[in-house]
Amino acid sequence: MAESLKALAYQDESWPDPVEWIEKNFWIPELRGPIVLEEYHKDALREALSRDPETGLFNYSMVVWSDIKKSIKSCLAAAVGMYFAFHTSWGEIYFIANDLNQADSRVAMYFRRAMELNPDFKNVYRTRGYRMTMKSNNTVVQAIPIDPAGEAGSNADLIVWSEMWGATGSAQAKMYVEMALSPTKHGRSLQWVETYAGYREQSETLYGLYENGVTNGKRVWPDRTYHTNFEGQQVLDAYKSGSQFTLWNGTPRCSWQPKGYYDDEKKKLIPSEFNRIHRNIWASAIDTFVPIEWWDACLDVNMPVPTSKTSFVIALDAGVTDDPFAMIMVWRHPTEPDECCVHYTRRWLPPQGGKIDYEPIEKEFIRLIEEYHVVCAPYDIYQLHYFATRISKMNIVWMKAFSQTTDRLIADSQLRVMIRDRRIHHDGSHIHLRQNIMNAMAQVASEDKENRKIRIVKASKDKKVDMTVALSMAVSTCMRLNL
């Protein structure tokens, strides 16, 4: 009897059609008025927020809204949050992301912005820090970061998870457990996940939802087709699996997604990253650094010849027992200042079961400094501290420690772009460097996922990349200095 009364009470709240309400009340600056949804948005929203006609309870407690980049998935999550805020009394709504800045600057920001843009909503809420309270019904809307201990015991009506693909650590997994919906609000509360695909090896929480919703689910509309921008009409990838509804769209369907945009993006991103964010396809965290065809296209049969006044950079990347020692010298192109020329490459291999002898390396390094105008020598700070200290005491060249964290992220990403754009020049004689380029893989940096910086890594232990790393340090330093 208690459950029946609860359901009837919920029915009496008379929530309006979500699409009609959102298209009337959720304002965006681009239109200076209410948002206009695509047909697939409308059908998916209505299904996601559908109710049992007899009880009035939600059909789903988990909604995974996974769509390609720039498909307004964050705006829609904010719109759902606003829909709940206006139709829930004494409710709790949380916008969660991987840190507080992300939580407040994405979905929560779109929520506040829509409130401020709509002239009818000017004074319907009050704000205190990251917390908003609706004046009419006392529902609280709050942006919070991943903090499993601090958020234990939630009694939420709506939980919105933003960009769950980036939830890769134990804290995120614990937070997901702690923020489970309360049984006292079963059928009257939702979790809403907005994201695109992640990395199979890292995004474990999201991948579990993907398997439950897509792999094990059934299509909601198996025979209904929807518009796509380039492939004609296609069935929408929308699934139901128990109490989970999943939209997993992987094709451009919105009017503001032209083909030229994706042609440009293909040039900028490694293939797995393009497919992940623009086709919603799960990626590996590691992919080929550059196609070898890009490197070969950098061959310059008319390489410029340096003069006695040319300034050089020599980069050093070291190994001890397993890896070679690489030395690469570059200089800035004389007529194209944003391009770089490879002048010298060499590597030294460790003996079987032994360590590299640094004495002949030091002699060769000093020879190059005496023969050329070398202004800077960036080096691997972890492996070459003592070598660099000894050379520095000679006062013959500026030895610059090159961080293998932040500096490398910037340098490796820059090198990939420069090779792609044929801004690296070589004469084709550097065969070991070419092999290293082929060996190199690109790993999306876990500490910089948002900006999609990459790091050069080995595909396997025997696939050496020391010369590629040295080239990255050399080119980055050469471009940064006013040579």
Domains of the chain: 2-283 (3.40.50.300), 292-480 (3.30.420.240)
Task: Look up residue 483 and give its two tokens.
Answer: 């040579």
- How, if at all, do strands 62-66 and 244-248 pair? parallel
The predicted-structure confidence for 36-57, as pLDDT tens digits, reads as follows 999 999 999 999 999 999 999 9
Task: Report pLDDT for 103.
Answer: 67
Task: Look up residue 74 and give its two tokens.
Answer: 């964050």
Report whether 63 contacts 76 (CB < 8 A): no
Task: Report pLDDT for 382.
Answer: 80
Report whether 251 contacts 228 (CB < 8 A): yes
**Pick from 276, 224, 262: which is nearest to 40 by CA?**
224
Contacts 24+ apart (CB under 8 A), 115-122: 115/82, 117/27, 117/28, 117/29, 117/32, 118/25, 118/26, 118/27, 120/25, 121/25
Q: Give percent of the chain with pLDDT exceeding 90.
A: 68
232 burial level (CB within 10 Å; 0-12, 13-18, 19+): exposed
Q: Which residues contact 91 (CB under 8 A, 6 or more apart)?
A: 84, 85, 137, 139, 140, 157, 158
- Sheet with 440-444, edge to edge strand ranges: 286-288, 440-444, 454-458
Report the distance separating Cα 234 and Cα 225, nearest Å: 5
Report the distance separating Cα 125 and Cα 132, nearest Å: 6
Tell me the residue length of the chain.
483
Is the whole model's pTM more than 0.75, yes or no? no
Report whether 67 contacts 196 (CB < 8 A): yes
- How, if at all, do strands 125-128 and 131-134 pair? antiparallel
Task: Report pLDDT for 482.
Answer: 83
Under-70 pLDDT residues of the chain: 1-13, 103, 147-154, 169, 319-321, 445-452
Task: Report pLDDT for 12.
Answer: 39
Task: Report pLDDT for 6.
Answer: 40
Task: Report pLDDT for 350.
Answer: 87
Phi-psi region of 252 (alpha: psi -120 to 50; beta: other; left: phi over 0): beta
Task: Report pLDDT for 147.
Answer: 66
Report whether 228 contacts 253 (CB < 8 A): yes
Report the distance separating Cα 205 and Cα 171, nearest Å: 11
Report whether 456 contacts 463 (CB < 8 A): no
Query: Which amino acid makes up residue 88?
Result: T
Task: Report pLDDT for 452.
Answer: 61
Q: How distant, in Å, are the alpha carbons of 297, 301, 390, 416, 420 from that of 294?
A: 5, 16, 38, 9, 6
The predicted-structure confidence for 164-173, as pLDDT tens digits, reads as follows 888 776 777 7
Q: Which residues contact 456 (CB under 8 A, 6 or more apart)?
A: 289, 408, 412, 415, 440, 441, 442, 443, 465, 468, 469, 472
Task: Report pLDDT for 270.
Answer: 81
